[in-house]
Structure 1
Amino acid sequence: MLRIGVLVSGGGTNLQAIIDRIESGYIKDCSIVTVVSSKPNVYALERAKKHNIPAVCIARKDYPSVHEYGEALIQHFERCEVGLIVMAGFLSILGENFVKRFENRIINIHPSLIPAFCGKGYYGIIPHQKALEYGVKVTGATVHFVDVEADSGPIILQKAVYIRDDDTPETLQKRVMEEAEWEILPEAIKLFAEGRLEIDGRKVRIKDN
C-alpha cells in the first residue's frame, strides 16, 4: 500500500481528483494518509475531512526560513510514513532540505506545458495570462518530479489543451484543470504506485506493465 501525502494551498480541486480516482478503483493500493495546507481555513482541508483523511495546516508564515519550514514538513511526513508526496496546487517554496530528503518521491502539477510559462512567479492564474498574452495556440498541464529549482524536475506526463479565440485567463484555467490536470495527476500517481516510472537523467521512462 502506497502511503500518499498531499500538499495544498487553496480549494483542493486536484486533491479531489485524486480522491475520486482512488475511491473509483482507478488508482489501486494507495491511500492518502495526510493532507497538509500551507494556509489555514482553505477549502482543501474541508475536502479532506469529508473523506475522513487527516488534514493539518503547517503554515509557511509560522517559520522564519524556508529551511525551518522544510524541517517541519519533513518531521510531519516522516511521522506519517509517506512514500509519495503530491503537490496539488501548493504555492509555497520548498527548501532544498525537504526536496533532498524525499528525492524522486515528490511530484507536482503545473498548469502549462513546461518549459513554457513556468518557474518562479508562475503560479495560479499567471501561466494562463501569460499564455494568452503571448498568443500561443496550445497550452496544457505538466506533471513532473520536483527538484530544487521551480518547475525544473524531470517530466512525467503532459497533456495539451487548445486555446480558443474567446478565452480569458479564467476560462482557460478552468479548461486546463478539467481537461488536463485532473486527468494526468491521478495517472502519474497510478504509474508511480505501479512502479512503472524510471528516471534516466532528465527523462522519465514509463515501463510496460
Structure 2
Amino acid sequence: MLIPEVPTLQSVLKDIEPRGPKDLVRLWTVQHTDAVTQLLKGSVPLRGREEYAYSDCAQGKRSAYKWMVGQMNERLPRQYQCHGLPVWTLPVQSPCLGDKDQVLEIQVTRERVVFSFHSPWTRLLEIFSCMGEGDEERWPDIWSTQPYLVAGASGVDQKNGDSGNIPSEAECRGSWEQIFDLTLARRVSDFAWDRRPFIQATLSQIDPCDVVRVLP
C-alpha cells in the first residue's frame, strides 16, 4: 500500500476538483517494473493484474475489487469503464516501495478517473474479509463489535455495533458509496476520514501516451 507524504486535505481536493470532463489531472502510481517496461514499449496498456492484486490471497479481496469495479462503471463513461481490475493511483507523488517497482507520473482526463477516500476503503476490505468469498459470501446473522457500516449520515466512522442500534444490510451497503463523496470533507464539520488526507484514484487502464515520466 502506498503511504505518501501528503499536503492538506483541502489542497488535494482543490487540485482534483472537477471543472470539466476533459480537464487533465496528474496522478502517480507504483507499478511493477515489467508492467512499466511493456507499457513504455507501446505494446499494451497497463491494467490491473491478478498476480499482483491478489498476491496476498486475503479472503474477500476479490469480492471487494468486484464491488469497486461496479462502482467505477456506474460513474465512468462507457468507453472508460473497467472490465478487469482497476489501476490504483494517487493525486500526490508516491514513494517507490519495492526493488521491482517504479513510480509512474501520468496525466489523464478527469472523466477517466474515480476518486475516493482511502481510509473507508480499507474498512471495506475488512468487511468483505468477514463476509467470505464467492459462494461462501453472506451477510452476518450475528453482529460482533461493529456493524458492516462504513459511514453514518454525518460522514464519520461508526463503530458501535453492539449498542443495540444496528443498521440494516441495506443501510450498511448504502453507506459504502459515501467513500466517493469528496464533498463530505467540506460539508461535514466533524468529518473524521483521512486525517492524513489520503485520497485514492482508480481508472481502467494507463495508455503509453498518458505517461509524463518514470521517476528515478
- TM-score class normalised by the smaller sequence: 0.3 to 0.5
Q: 1 or 2 for the larger relative contact order (CA 8 Å, sep ≥6)?
A: 2
What is the TM-score normalised by the length of structure 2? Answer: 0.31
- The structure with the larger Rg is 2
